[in-house]
């Protein structure tokens, strides 16, 4: 049934229709094309998911580092009150920035009147939730506090949930809660 040129002739009984083996080859090729397209689409989806996961992981790491530093800024008060307050406001945004700015004058006077000083240390931290532009960081902070009435350092231990938001390329605290 093979011609001299090595090809299979059309099925003589079928009136010029292609042979069964040629039909199977076409179907097999079509299946391979569909499988290749499916594999490519699956790889693209997994690639996007991997990229997104890496973006969230990177955001969480960066925001956590900034939150740890900011927590020390927020819980440390020394002789340079103006500089301390300016540093806190520089790292804040949104409602937290507004609230801190409104209450800072009363806090400043209270610290001056009581000759208070404090030094915060982040003992541990972890990520509570994260997206590429917003990260909640849980911080465990030890704060050594002295004042005119209690000159010996007193240790205060706090848990803080700090919400960090990416604003113009900087991670800033938009909310600080003491649960």
pLDDT band at 31 (very low <50, low <70, confident <90, very high): confident
| Residue 75: predicted pLDDT | 96
Q: Higher pLDDT residue, 102 or 16?
A: 102
| Residue 125: predicted pLDDT | 98
Q: Give the whole-angstrom CA distance, residue 164 versus residue 133.
A: 8
Instruction: For 89-128, write each residue's pLDDT tens digit.
Output: 999 999 999 999 999 889 999 999 999 999 999 999 999 9
State residue 64 phi and psi, 5-degree precision: -65, -45
| Residue 40: predicted pLDDT | 83
| Residue 2: predicted pLDDT | 54
Element of type H or E holding 20: helix 20-75
Q: Does pLDDT of 17 surpass 90?
A: no
Of the listed ranges 35-49, 95-109, 162-176, the one predicted with least confidence: 35-49
- The answer to whether 164 touches 174, Cβ cutoff 8 Å, is yes
Q: Does pLDDT of 48 surpass 80?
A: no
Instruction: For 140-152, write each residue's pLDDT tens digit.
Output: 999 999 999 988 9
Q: Give the whole-angstrom CA distance, residue 39 versus residue 79.
A: 64
């Amino acid at each position: 049934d093979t011609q001299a040129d090595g090809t299979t002739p059309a099925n003589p009984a079928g009136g010029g229709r292609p042979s069964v083996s040629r039909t199977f080859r076409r179907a097999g090729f079509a299946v391979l094309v569909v499988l290749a397209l499916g594999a490519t689409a699956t790889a693209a989806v997994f690639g996007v998911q991997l990229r997104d996961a890496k973006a969230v992981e990177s955001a969480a790491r960066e925001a956590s580092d900034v939150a740890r530093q900011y927590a020390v800024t927020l819980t440390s008060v020394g002789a340079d009150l103006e500089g301390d307050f300016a540093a806190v406001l520089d790292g804040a945004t949104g409602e937290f920035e507004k609230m801190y700015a409104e209450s800072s004058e009363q806090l400043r006077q209270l610290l001056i009147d009581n000759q208070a000083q404090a030094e915060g240390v982040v003992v541990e931290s972890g990520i509570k939730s994260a997206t590429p532009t917003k990260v909640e960081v849980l911080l465990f902070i030890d704060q050594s506090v002295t004042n005119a009435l209690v000159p010996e350092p007193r240790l205060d231990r706090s848990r803080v949930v700090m919400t960090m938001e990416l604003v113009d390329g900087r991670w800033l605290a938009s909310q600080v809660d003491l649960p």
